[in-house]
Amino acid sequence: MGQVQEANGRLEDLHRLRDGYLRNVSHEFRSPLTVIRGYAEFVRDQGVPADSSLPDVMGVMLDSCDQMIDMVDTLLEVSRIEQGETSRRLDVRPVALDEVVDTALASVRGLAEKKEARIDISFPKDPLRVTGDSSLLAHAFRHLLSNALKYGPARGTVFIRAEAREGQAVLEVEDQGIGISPEHLPRIFEKFYVADAGLDRRRGGAGVGLYLAREIVRLHRGSIEARSQPGHGSVFRVSLPEPEPAPASEAST
Ligand code: ADP
């Protein structure tokens, strides 16, 4: 018994070490990346001959930097959430779901333009409210939207639908993309899980976006699920409890 306890204790120490290491490495990555990004922007914006390919090359460098910075930020957010899942003080208040979606949309606007994608939004007339931390929720939706764009076709449509259902605010993000095969579907919310681990993973990231989205939704006592028809697209559904007519102080527990 004592040996088992000791082994468990050591395992926990190892997990803590690993998480700390991940957080430190992420931090360390971020600084040089932002420096490279800054210089790439500087070079791109220098006056260069019109026939030079330099602006295009620098544009690609900038995009890659943004992608890496985004991945690092996601890893940092994951570690913050895992660290303080029980102790983190969420900035919980009633928030309008359409405003949270707007914030998330603003951060994927560039990606949508690049893909020439259309965003079709359908919200009920009466504003939907949830109780939560709007910035964290926007983070979660941002990952769903950026996946819908990443894995969706060029000039496709991403549908965002929301409705109130049995005391829940239900939000769906639907794309017309490559879809997810049944063997991968049950695992896509796992940390570091990537459905297509082939060499051509230009679209994919580190496999933490959906994990983070699920953790954030869980922190809000909600649920998230995905359904998909390979080759025809995917639908991600988030259900969050609508605010109860209870004193605001109860909401932060
Ligand atoms: P990644 O950063 O690799 O996109 P995620 O955690 O966001 O990681 O997603 C996990 C995996 O689920 C992805 O690697 C991808 O294969 C699959 N996936 C996620 N969203 C979609 C989508 N909308 N359409 C198709 N596949 C998806």
Residues of the chain with CATH 1.10.287: 2-87
Determine whether the shortest distance from the Cβ of 213 to ligand 1 is under 6 A.
no
Question: Span 199-217, mean pLDDT?
Answer: 77
Query: Whose C-alpha lies nearest to ligand 1, atom 17?
Result: 195
The residue among 119 and 87 whose pLDDT is bigger is: 119
The residue nearest atom 2 of ligand 1, judged by CA position, is 205
Cβ 88 vs Cβ 80: under 8 Å: yes
Q: Is the pLDDT of residue 86 over 50?
A: no
Give me the pLDDT at residue 197, please: 56
100-129 in b/e burial notation, b at 16+ Cβ within 10 A? bbebbbeebeebbeebebebeeebeeeebb
Q: Point out the ligand 1 atom lying closest to the alpha carbon of residue 179.
A: 25
pTM here is 0.80
Mean residue pLDDT of the chain comes to 85
Burial 154-185 (b: 16+ CB within 10 A, else e): eebebbbbbeeeeebbbbbbbbbbbbbeeebb
pLDDT for position 185 = 95
CATH of domain 2-87: 1.10.287
What pLDDT is stored for residue 116 in this prediction? 96
* Atom 20 of ligand 1, residue of closest alpha carbon: 147
CA of 227 to the centre of ligand 1 (A): 13
* Among protein residues, the one whose CA lies closest to atom 14 of ligand 1: 194
pLDDT tens for 116-149 read: 999 999 999 988 999 888 988 999 999 999 999 9
* Digit-coded pLDDT (tens) for 212-224: 899 999 989 999 9
Q: Is 132 in the pocket of ligand 1 (CB under 6 A)?
A: no
Reported as a pLDDT band with limits 50, 70 and 90, residue 27 is confident
Pocket test for ligand 1, best of 151, 208, 235 (most atoms within 8 A of CB): 151
Instruction: Name the pLDDT band for 42 (thresholds 50, 70, 90).
Output: confident
Tell me yes or no: is domain 91-241 CATH 3.90.1150.10: no
Find the 218 Cα to ligand 1 centroid distance in Å: 19
Max CA separation in the chain (angstroms) = 74
144 within 8 A of 174, measured Cβ to Cβ: no
pLDDT band at 92 (very low <50, low <70, confident <90, very high): confident
Query: Crossing angle of helices 209-219/54-83, nearest 10°?
Result: 40
Q: How far, in Å, is the centroid of ligand 1 from the Cα of 196? A: 8
Question: In testing the pocket of ligand 1, which one of 66, 111, 142, 147 has its CB within 8 Å of the most ligand atoms?
Answer: 147
Ligand 1 atom showing the smallest separation from residue 178 Cα? 25
- Binding site membership of 98 for ligand 1 (Cβ less than 6 Å): no
> How many residues are listed for the chain in this entry?
253
Residue ranges of the chain that CATH labels 3.30.565.10: 91-241
Per DSSP (E only), the strands in the chain are: 93-96, 118-122, 129-132, 157-165, 168-174, 223-229, 233-241
